[in-house]
Amino acid sequence: MKSAVLTVGRKKFHGRGFGKAGTYKGELVFNTAMTGYVEAITDPSYIGQMLLFTYPLIGNYGVNRAWMQSSGAKVSGLIVHELCRHPYHFESECTLEEFIEKEGIGGVEGVDTRAITQLIRTHGTMSATLVVSEDL
C-alpha cells in the first residue's frame, strides 16, 4: 500500500497514495463539480496544476477515453477525499486509479479536502508538493 504526504505552505496532510510513486509539484487548485472528473483531469487548462476535488467521492463511474478533453491527463497531481476503486458505469474502461498510474501521475486520498480548500481560499494561489511512496 502506498502512502502520501501533501505539503501546502507549512502544512502537511498525510493520506493513502495512489497512482505512480514519485514527487509531484504544482499550483494547487480545486474543482467543486459533482461529476466530470475525467474531463477535468484531461483539461489542458490544468497543465502544471495539482487538482483537488471538493466532492467527497471521486472515481465512481471509472474512466472512458471518449470522456476525455484531450489525449491524456494534464494535471500534475490529484487530491481526493475518497477514491472509488470499483466503478459502476457500463462504459467504464478502467478505474481512475489505473488511469492515473498509466498516465504517470500520483494522487492522495484520505485527506481533509475541506480544510485544504479553505486554506487555498484564505491564502490564494499556493504551490504544493505531493510525495507518493511505497515506504513512507
Q: Taking residues 89-100, report their average pLDDT.
A: 97
Q: pLDDT value at position 108?
A: 98
Q: Give per-residue pLDDT as tens, 30-63.
A: 999 999 999 999 999 999 999 999 999 999 999 9
User: Residue 93: what pLDDT?
Assistant: 97
Q: Is the pLDDT of residue 64 over 80?
A: yes
The CATH architecture that domain 2-133 belongs to is 3-Layer(bba) Sandwich (3.50)
Contact 24, 130 (CB under 8 A): yes
Q: Which residue has the cell 508538493?
A: 129
- Helix (H) and strand (E) counts in the chain: 3, 9
Stretch 74-103: mean pLDDT:
97
pLDDT greater than 60 at residue 136: no
Report CA 35 to chain centroid distance, whole Å. Answer: 14
CB hemisphere CA count around 8 (13 angstroms): 27
Question: What is the pLDDT confidence band of residue 80, given thresholds at 50, 70 and 90?
Answer: very high
Q: What is the pLDDT of residue 125?
A: 85
Average pLDDT, the chain: 96
What is the model's pLDDT at position 87? Answer: 96
The C-alpha atoms of residue 112 and residue 10 are separated, in whole angstroms, by: 16
